A and B are shown apart, each in its own frame.
Chain A
Amino acid sequence: MLKKLAGGLLAGVAVGVMSMSAAMAGELTVYTAVEAEDLKKYADAFNADHPDIKINWVRDSTGVVTAKLLAEKNNPQADVIWGLAATSLLLLKSEGMLEAYAPKGVENLDPKFVDKSTPPTWTGMDAWVASVCFNTVEGEKLGLTAPKSWKDLTKAEYKGHVIMPNPNSSGTGFLDVSSWLQMFGEKDGWAFMDDLHKNIAAYTHSGSKPCKMAAAGEIPIGVSFAFRGAKSKAAGAPIDIIVPEEGVGWDMEATAIVAGTDNIDDAKTLVDWTVTKKANEMYNSGYAVVAYPGVAKPVEHFPENLLEKMIDNDFEFAANNRKAILDEWQKRYDSKSEPKG
């Protein structure tokens, strides 16, 4: 029996040891908030040029990935971040968590998409832009007119028919809130959100869920982002993608090396690749705006006037006021329901 006991304990130890050898040359742990269905495509395209480096994805929503990275601040598990909101990367940069590195060919990118420090700590990939998904079938059933602007969404007819992401956990939710505050000003921005709050059916954890809910007809109007809307439309959902006329918030997806990675060479290889023309062509399959000038081609189902409606986003404002904005938001809206049966 002692043998059996010992066997059991040894098995336990073995589990630990086997899974210990995570950080090996030729393997990179990459944290990302890129849509799950695109990850395989990204990895395949990279592996076509660099078959010897295996990517282990850790994918979650923007808030979760940021939280994970911050939690692991003193003991980083990630080697590279590929596809996380620039606002989040600014936050990580101010914690000293990013390795400064100028990827080969970074000079080809639009300077708007590159960190201002020299050498830069992060490089942008593409912009993802807020949009409203409107389910035309359910809208007709409920007798709703399609909203044209953000302000329209506060009209009484939409009560309970609007769903948006919770800015605390969703990068899309945060870029909406930060863009309203930038466009309307602090005071009017919060006043707008107070009115909008009356119409909101629920605040979701992820930024793509509102559009998927609109696509499924569960809630007819979903505040989400254009890329998600285009995908759902391509999948056959009866939705229109609406660009509110006041202008729309946006954020960059960006890439960085995590300081302290024990695989810096492979990390550099990957980051070099992420700024290539080929990589940017790949980003373009879902995003109408990419970092490499001249690459972008129109994306199917993408609203036409999207680019001109993008606001002049102040990322530093967003990053440094993030906590204050989120605290205020939570104080105002996070206890929507009163306890009753």
Chain B
Amino acid sequence: MSSADAMTPDASAGGRIKPKLGSDDWIMRGYMIVLAVYLIVALALPLYAMLSKAFETSRFDLAQFEVQVSDESGAFKQPAETLKQINDRGSFIPEGDLATSSDGRLALTKFFPDFSFRSPVKYRLRGLDENAVYLVGSERFEGTAPAEFDSNTFRRVVIRPVQDYGLANFATYFSTPALFQSIQNSVFIAIVSTLITVSLAFGFAYALCRSCMPFKGVFRLIAMAPILVPSLLPGIALVYLFGNQGFLKQFLMGESIYGPIGIVVGSVFFTFPHAMIIILIALSISDARLYEAAVSLRASKWRTFWTVTIPGARYGLISAAFVVFNLVITDFGLPKVIGGQYNMLAVDIYKQVIGQQNFQMGAVVSVVLLIPALLAYVVDRLVQRKQVALLSARSVVYQPKPSKRFDLSCLAYCALVALFIISILGICQYAALVKFWPYDLTLGLTNYDFDRMDGGGWAAYRNSIYMALMTALIGTVIIFTGAYMVEKTKGFAKGRAGFQFLAMLPMAIPGMVLGLAYIFFFNNPANPLNFIYGTMAILVICTVTHFYTVSHLTAVTALKQIDSEFEPVAASLKQPFYRLFSRVTVPVCMPAILDIMIYLFVNAMTTVSAVVFLYSSKTTLASVAVLNMDDAGDIAPAAAMGMMIFYTNVAARLVHAVVSRYVLGRTQGWRQR
């Protein structure tokens, strides 16, 4: 705040220049700080909590316990010794095996090689500090009170570990092949999926951009459809198509769909639209003058393609590649459904946390997953910066010329890709309506009786819609006003840079990592914000944060288009900033605001990764229900719920289109002149 004071001396000096402006600045900076605090609480602090969890270790502290052993007659003649002394003498437990998880138990009989439960020997056990915990059977004892056991009871005594900090978890991780194998698997799958998706998407975008084929609008719509479903849905579809009872099983020639093949095919499906849009934009900004030059230099089509088209789109291609890589390596739903025994990092986090209750190890895997995700993110940001520099005011838009053969082959290619997308969605809808696959193929609605299945039933569907609406409304307000403050606040460079950094960070954080970080941070009773744990509010906050960056960039881009002269003019007319904001900025940016809303809504409907750790009995979600129903083997109802999400998103998109058209007519008339 001191810098803000220093920049506005006029506020207190009696308003020599423009007192109104001074208070505006104050409000804007204050508001920006409020939003920055929001991002710190919703992002930075949870991540910090997660990192520290990764270094939290458990180990058996042998110096904590003292044992005295009697002779055969039950008389205690030997002096008491600590377990550490006993172990140093006989090294029954190697030092490395003392590291464990918070659930570890160590049987005391291991320290006594001649132990027999029939022997009359008695044992006295005493903890040496208040944190010494041991169990007799499942009965828990804590502290320094001594206890005496006969041999038959002593075999049931186990000690519990103490908490410590260090790198032991990472050591365990990298010495467990089942765990670190996943790094290789994840990177391998991500690279293969990226190569395939980017090639396919490039062809599709090329056809849309450079041919004169018919039905371009339809193809574009179909290509965007995968964005509207959770990433688990292609997995479910693949089970029906290529599973052991699938009707296209023979196409796999004996290979199993459960594993790498399934993950790659599904990944291509759900990342296709992301890659296609980025490449489409890159292709559409290339300069027609270069092609005219190529023609006049008599370059062959092939040569022109490699010397003009590809270099022109290279930033788009690279950016698409890294976006796809990031989406695949951080995705959890798809490998969960179709991955079989093929371990991936994101699924490992789930298995460690949900399956084994090993939160520390979950945090370690999260840290490992952060590294490739961060790298992909940094490269993408660097590349995007260059892409902007490529645009020039003198560029001429390329107009394709009809060519029958080329247009027809483009049409055939796009039809093939569209068929792939439609059949994935179609098979899900069909499977959802079939009564008992594959033995009773009559159609019916039994699979829509969600209340009889896992996952939360129809309430989950209603919760999802409510959550998506709240995310869209609250998120848009926070994100758009935040972007406004970053763009239009004068001076305060450090604060703006700091805010910008916080706003860009969420894109680099995988959803699973964010969700786990939220458990550690919010489910801590010492946290004053603990009360939002298990509520709808935490789901909304988490989802807004998870999808912050793209929305922020959309808002910033729209705001940059507004002439910066508006502010001085408003100031000289003594109009406060919020009047300018509501009368000019918001109406002008309305298309972008609506885009942010629909983006948040659709993603809130489909997201699984972050919220899977955070939902409670009252806040089950449709996307998580798809996961849980599939988990329980109710695959057809899972497909049915997945398709409900799809239809809801389609409806939301339609509403968005209608509202956009209306709003555009009302607020964007000035663009027509």
Contact = CB atoms under 8 A, between A and B. Distances in A.
Given A1-B582, A238-B439, A8 B477 contact: yes
A219 B523 contact: no
Contacts of B531: 16, 20
Contacts of B192: 341
A74 interface: yes
A247 B315 CA distance: 64
Interface in A212-243: 212-213, 216-219, 235-238
A330 B243 CA distance: 26
Interface in B509-559: 519, 523-525, 530-537, 540
Interface in B570-587: 578-579, 581-582, 586
A15 B470 contact: yes
Interface stretch (B284-292, B351-359, B402-410, B419-427): B351-359
A16 B451 CA distance: 26
A320 B158 contact: yes
Nearest to B535: A19
Contacts of A211: 633
A337 B340 contact: yes
A244 B353 CA distance: 33
B433 to A, nearest CB: 16
Contacts of A16: 531-532, 535, 537
Interface stretch (A57-65, A143-151, A248-256): A57-65
Contacts of B243: 218
Given A8-B474, A8-B478, A217-B245, A67 B357 contact: yes
Which range contains the number of B residues in contact with the other chain?
35 or more
A208 B185 contact: no
Contact of A168 (B138, B184, B351, B470): B351
B245 A216 contact: yes
B634 interface: yes
Nearest to B156: A316
Interface string A69-102: 0111011010000000000001101111000000
A71 B523 contact: yes
Contacts of B176: 330-331
A1 B631 contact: no
Contacts of A12: 474, 537, 540
A138 B453 CA distance: 26
Contacts of A93: 138-140
B188 interface: yes
A316 B619 contact: no
A149 to B, nearest CB: 25
Interface in B88-128: 100-101, 103-105, 107
B245 A22 contact: no
Nearest to B104: A323
Interface in A8-41: 8-9, 11-12, 15-16, 18-20, 22, 29, 36-37, 40
A169 B181 contact: no
A294 interface: no
A273 interface: no
B436 interface: yes
A64 B354 CA distance: 5
Interface residues of A, number: 82
A292 interface: no
Interface in A290-341: 316, 319-324, 326, 330-331, 334-337, 339-341
Contacts of B540: 12, 15
Nearest to B239: A218
A74 B259 contact: no
Nearest to B477: A8
Interface in B162-216: 176-178, 181, 184-185, 188, 192
Contacts of A237: 436, 439
A341 B260 contact: yes
A1 B581 CA distance: 8
Given A93-B138, A339-B185, A77 B530 contact: no
Contacts of B135: 94, 320
A297 B312 CA distance: 76
B628 interface: yes
B383 interface: no
B244 A71 contact: no
A209 interface: yes
Contact of A15 (B177, B184, B451, B535): B535
B15 interface: no
B578 A2 contact: yes
Interface string B7-19: 0000000000000
Given A71-B357, A217-B244, A15 B530 contact: no
Which of A16, A166, A236 has the most chain B CB atoms closer than 10 A to its own CB? A16
A58 B355 contact: no
A5 interface: yes
B454 A36 contact: yes
A156 interface: no
Nearest to A95: B140
B631 A206 contact: yes
Interface string B632-661: 111100000000000000000000000000
B306 to A, nearest CB: 28
Which of A36, A202, A336 has the most chain B CB atoms closer than 10 A to its own CB? A36
B462 interface: no
A72 B523 contact: yes
Contact of A66 (B178, B357, B628, B633): B357
A72 B438 CA distance: 42
A96 B156 CA distance: 18
A203 interface: yes
Contacts of A96: 140
A90 B140 CA distance: 11
24 contacts: A2-B578, A8-B477, A11-B473, A19-B536, A19-B618, A37-B453, A56-B617, A56-B618, A71-B357, A75-B525, A77-B534, A94-B138, A137-B439, A168-B356, A169-B351, A201-B340, A202-B340, A205-B336, A206-B632, A209-B631, A209-B632, A335-B177, A335-B343, A339-B342
Interface of B: 100-101, 103-105, 107, 135, 137-140, 156, 158, 176-178, 181, 184-185, 188, 192, 239, 243-245, 256, 258-261, 336, 340-343, 351, 353-357, 359, 436-440, 451-455, 470, 473-474, 477-478, 481, 519, 523-525, 530-537, 540, 578-579, 581-582, 586, 616-619, 628, 631-635
Given A19-B535, A19-B536, 8 more contacts: A2-B578, A4-B582, A11-B473, A19-B534, A57-B617, A212-B632, A217-B244, A340-B260
Top 9 A-B pairs ranked by shortest CB distance? A212-B633, A169-B355, A19-B535, A209-B633, A336-B341, A8-B477, A1-B582, A335-B178, A16-B537
Interface of A: 1-2, 4-5, 8-9, 11-12, 15-16, 18-20, 22, 29, 36-37, 40, 56-61, 63-64, 66-67, 70-72, 74-75, 77, 90-91, 93-96, 117, 137, 166, 168-169, 201-206, 208-213, 216-219, 235-238, 316, 319-324, 326, 330-331, 334-337, 339-341
